[in-house]
Structure 1
Amino acid sequence: MLLNFDSDMSNHHSRRESSRNVQLANSKPEQDSRIMIAMVGVTGAGKTTFASLASGTREPMAIEFMLDSRQIVLIDTPGFDDDMRSDLVILEDIAKWMAKKGYLKNHLLDGLIFLHPVMLNRVGGSERNRTRLLQAILGKDAYSRVIIATTFWGSIKSEEEINRWLDGRKSVGGVWHEMIQHGAKVMKHSNDAMSAHNIIGEIIKITDENGKLEPLLRKELKNHKGRVIKTSAGKELERQVMKDIVSLDRKLEEHEKDRPPDSDGRDKDLEVREKYKIWHRDKQMMEDRLQRRKKQLKKLGSLVIRIKTFLASIFG
């Protein structure tokens, strides 16, 4: 879901009693003094839970609160593997989010929390694609602002297996290796307020030492007049879509070679008819996906974030 940055933040004042340790801000200081942190991750990784624990509220999207005299803004972003929305739609939403008036009008991000559930499955192609897309959105200069926060530790009994799982992602060739090599940190989120505050505190420390962050996608959208296909993220998504198109074309060719006899008449064997039915269903599924990917490629090529709105969001 695209963030509603223009909503009335005064609603937060009514929730000041919700936490002893964290109070919502009564007034907004100068925007440049706020610590702005984007939360990304797969759907169900625990972004909303993290925000609720950190702030002491149940507000699901953009939350402002005070932590150790610093005003924090936690911003939820679209889930990277939402089954209902393609990666193209998610990238479009993120690009529009960066161009939108509101929180980012005169303010840059301070860091990014990449929440990822602890899982014992092998790294799949979809996870690598999501991570590569995230890297292209941020750029290498921003990796030092990334905290990879692992979640759902309580659901796993063997910490030894978890450590092996983490080592695989950190090692050379691992899905997180490049980000970690350029400064990203992996931290355990224990699903409590103290853990969430420690992670936020790490980003505050980095900002105090190095200043603010401008993601690569934001810079490139300015330089290429809003054309998403010209950005590193757009090129990465184009690569992924093209790879999928080539793969589907090849699979359809192989599938056609295994075509069973047609089964139009009633005199045909029931087993033959069922075999053809399954073959045809599988073919239709691949053709449908191929057409969707081709449409996504076409849309990606023509996708332009409205440059007038984008420049206004940067320069006021």
Structure 2
Amino acid sequence: MINSQDTRPQPIPASSLAKLSMNVLLPTPLWLYAHLAQPQSLILQIIFRVGFSLPLLCELYPALKKGKSERPTLVLSFLKDLPQSASFFKLHATKRLMDDLMTFNPRPTDIVVAIMGMTGSGKSTFISLCTNEDVTIGHNLTGCTQEIKIYKCPWSLDVDIYLADTPGFDDTNRSDTDVLTDIATWLTKSYTQNVKLNGIIYLHRITDPRMQGSAKKNLFMFKKLCGTSVLENVALISTMWEAVAQADGERREKELINTAEFWGVLIKHGAKVDRHQNIRGSAIRLLKHFVKNKQMTMSIQKEMVSENKDLDQTQAGIELESEYRKEKEKFTRELEETRRMMKEALVARDQESAEMLRQYEADMCRKVEKVAQDREQLQISMEKMHAKAIADYERRIKEQQARIEMDKKETEKERERYRKQEEETKMALISLRQHQVSTDALQREKEAIQHKLEHTVQLLDTLSVPDTKTTIQYRTRSTPGPNRIQEHICLALQGPFYYFIGPAKDQ
């Protein structure tokens, strides 16, 4: 006899994973979860070996086919659904996952390319076109890239191209020291694990009429990070040609190429110049130039790893230190001038101007103090940078856990609120039904009384003097009561020899 019941394995929702027995989850090796971001062939083998059910495999496999940048979301969702008793396990698994994001392990045949440039130059858009992944794109002066993120661009059977999205040195939310520290941490960490770059794409928006101060600073820092020996593996790419007149774009491009302090020096040492047309075909064409490139060692990698220099002793650190020194001198001069003007305002008893100058003085003092802090943070070794990165990851993990717990509490509050609303709705429906029943009963009673009254009138008419007729008037009155639904009918009878008025009753 054939069993008609469907016995095919059904996928388990992510929320149901938390209900799996902890006797299965906790003994499973920690690296099982931390390595969910590894190639899917490995994860499939692991899942089979530890005895996970086929439904769980059906749930995980579609997400594992996506890019590496999307896999951590799956893992974090899985870890979030585990019970509170597994908090220690969740903390360390998430830590391993975050560490994998910072130090990935490409194959020897893979290509690694760093994408650099100012905030808003089109780095995230370029990566989105290359990878077909949804990369967060900013639409204002606030940068969306606040850490190094790696995106995989499948290229061939033996080669994948990894694109490193880096923050710009003009980020409105972070200091240049923080940006340099993040870039240096990732470059040195990767270098110590024998992961080297094959090239760098530096993006510059051609819509800028001239090279502004922030753009110059970003370019100078880029030069110091690279050094001159690796510039043959650098491509200087202008973007946003669709947003500028062709003649204006060509004039600005020519100025960039011919000016030594802009692109001129870089081109002299072997850097290539090209244009990006903001379509996928253009992005892929630019990547082709790096497929046959040899691996390179950037100046900051050599200085911090091989020569064991602190960050402030590297060429990039020295350049940033010089910028900070200039800023401090500028702010100090402005502070002195402000104090002089404030004294003059006090002598002249101009209290309004004096108050404005006090606020400006306080602002200048904060800026001077911030510059001093940024300069001090440059004095850091590679080991301390890596330790700081781990500490930052742990802090973010704890913040993520705190947000998860807060979300749980908010969810419980919402559930309680909805439960109360549902209870109130039920009570209201019951009251409404009772009111409807009472109204229906009253209507039936009314109809019965009216019928009896009509019958009584007919009877009285038959007993009356000829050519006379009994008249009947009745009206419904309300008496105080719940919802004012208790009603009675008043009756008025009038004939040739009698008059009666009173409450109408069944008797």
Q: Provide the TM-score with structure 1 as the length reference.
A: 0.80
Q: Which amino acid counterpart does residue 242 of structure 1 have in structure 2?
A: R
The aligned counterpart of 2:122 is 46
Q: Which of 203, 210, 224 lines up with 1:122 in the alignment?
A: 210
Q: Which amino acid counterpart does residue 226 of structure 2 have in structure 1?
A: L
The aligned counterpart of 1:175 is 262
What aligned pairs does 1:31-110 form with structure 2 within 5 A after superposition?
31-59=107-135, 61-69=149-157, 70-100=159-189, 105-110=193-198
Q: Which amino acid counterpart does residue 217 of structure 1 have in structure 2?
A: I
Q: Which amino acid counterpart does residue 137 of structure 1 have in structure 2?
A: L
The aligned counterpart of 2:66 is 14
**SS of structure 2 residue aligned to 1:183:** coil
The aligned counterpart of 2:361 is 283
What aligned pairs does 1:182-201 form with structure 2 within 5 A after superposition?
182-201=269-288
Q: Which has the higher contact order (CA 8 A, sep 6+)?
A: 1
- Give yes or no for contact 2:105–2:195 (8 Å, CA) kept in 1: no
Q: Which of 149, 166, 176 lines up with 2:237 in the alignment?
A: 149
**Greater share of residues in helix:** 2
**SS of structure 1 residue aligned to 2:108:** helix
How far off is 1:186 after superposition? Answer: 2.0
Between the aligned partners of 1:86 and 1:242, the Cα distance in structure 2 is 15
- Give yes or no for contact 1:168–1:174 (8 Å, CA) kept in 2: no
Given the superposition, is the C-alpha separation of residues 214 and 116 from structure 1 closer, same or farther in structure 2, using an over 3 Å criterion?
same
Between the aligned partners of 1:40 and 1:195, the Cα distance in structure 2 is 17
Q: Which of 287, 295, 312 lines up with 1:229 in the alignment?
A: 312
How far off is 1:263 after superposition? Answer: 9.3
The aligned counterpart of 1:261 is 345
- Give yes or no for contact 1:228–1:304 (8 Å, CA) kept in 2: yes
Give the fraction of aligned pairs with identical amino acids, expressed as a percent: 26
Q: Provide the TM-score with structure 2 as the length reference.
A: 0.51
Bigger mean CA deviation after superposition, 67-76 or 189-198: 67-76
How far off is 1:129 after superposition? Answer: 1.6
* CA-to-aligned-CA distance 1:91-136 (integer Å, 9 cap, x gap): 10011112335x9722210001112222333322222221111111
* CA-to-aligned-CA distance 1:150-196 (integer Å, 9 cap, x gap): 2222222x221122222222213342221111111221111111110
**SS of structure 2 residue aligned to 1:149:** strand
Between the aligned partners of 1:291 and 1:307, the Cα distance in structure 2 is 23
- Give yes or no for contact 2:303–2:314 (8 Å, CA) kept in 1: yes
Bigger mean CA deviation after superposition, 231-240 or 246-255: 246-255
Q: Residue 165 in 1 paired to residue 252 in 2?
A: yes
* CA-to-aligned-CA distance 1:220-266 (integer Å, 9 cap, x gap): 002342511121111111111111112222222233332242399xx
- Give yes or no for contact 1:39–1:75 (8 Å, CA) kept in 2: yes
Between the aligned partners of 1:46 and 1:6, the Cα distance in structure 2 is 31
Given the superposition, is the C-alpha separation of residues 308 and 114 from structure 1 closer, same or farther in structure 2, using an over 3 Å criterion?
closer
**SS of structure 1 residue aligned to 2:378:** helix
- Give yes or no for contact 1:224–1:230 (8 Å, CA) kept in 2: no
Query: Structure 1, unaligned stretches of length 5 or more?
Result: 17-27, 311-316
Between the aligned partners of 1:8 and 1:104, the Cα distance in structure 2 is 21
Between the aligned partners of 1:7 and 1:291, the Cα distance in structure 2 is 44
Between the aligned partners of 1:6 and 1:290, the Cα distance in structure 2 is 45
Between the aligned partners of 1:72 and 1:90, the Cα distance in structure 2 is 24
Larger Rg: 2
Between the aligned partners of 1:300 and 1:279, the Cα distance in structure 2 is 32
Between the aligned partners of 2:250 and 2:64, the Cα distance in structure 1 is 39
Q: Which amino acid counterpart does residue 51 of structure 1 have in structure 2?
A: I
Between the aligned partners of 1:62 and 1:55, the Cα distance in structure 2 is 11
